[in-house]
Amino acid sequence: MTQPNVSKFSELVIKQGDGASPEVFTKVGIAMVSRSWNQTASTTTVTTPDQDDEDAVVYEQKIPSTQTASASGKGKIDKSKVANMQAKLGVTANYELDETGVGTWKGPFILTQFNRTGERANTWDVDITLEAADNLTFTPSA
């Protein structure tokens, strides 16, 4: 039996662009304890009755209609990165999701969630969610 070559947790990295030309991408500045990368395709249902037998059962035809992607993460944020993340909330900016040995997804995302929670006698946690704002490009690893 052959074991699959799987990615380690640390091999999927969320990076944000600096907006410069050429654009430079750096890690978002959160020491992640969990992260998620989700891609979804939706379909539209089309039904067309038989013109010769309108009472016949009509089969649904599924047509791809939309795609979306989102990334999220939870962890600890360095105090020096809080203002930067706060400024990105609700703003469309370029991000990369880079997975070692798999490839890189790149494109515009909107930071739709920047939540910080904490408890007495502990440190603050942060949760972020990025939603794709347009088409993403995927470049497979060489």
What is the predicted pLDDT for the residue at 64? 95
What is the predicted pLDDT for the residue at 11? 93
Please compute, for residue 115, the number of CA atoms within 13 A of its CA located in the half-sphere on the CB side.
Answer: 10
What is the predicted pLDDT for the residue at 129? 97
Sorted by where each starts, the structural domains of the chain and their CATH numbers stand as 9-40+69-140 (2.40.10)
The one-digit pLDDT tens for each residue of the chain (142 residues) are 899 999 999 999 999 999 999 999 999 989 999 999 999 999 999 999 999 998 999 989 999 999 999 999 999 998 998 999 999 999 999 999 999 999 999 999 999 999 999 988 889 999 999 999 999 999 999 8
Q: How many CB atoms lie within 10 A of CB 78?
A: 11
- Cα separation, 140 vs 47, whole angstroms: 37
- Cα separation, 55 vs 28, whole angstroms: 58
- 64 prior amide bond cis, ω within 30: no
Both structure tokens of 114: 């920047």
Predicted TM-score of the model (pTM): 0.86
Residue type, 17: G
Cβ atoms 108, 134 nearer than 8 A: yes
Q: CB-based contacts of 128: which residues, under 8 Å, 6+ apart?
A: 28, 30, 72, 73, 74, 85, 111, 113, 114, 115
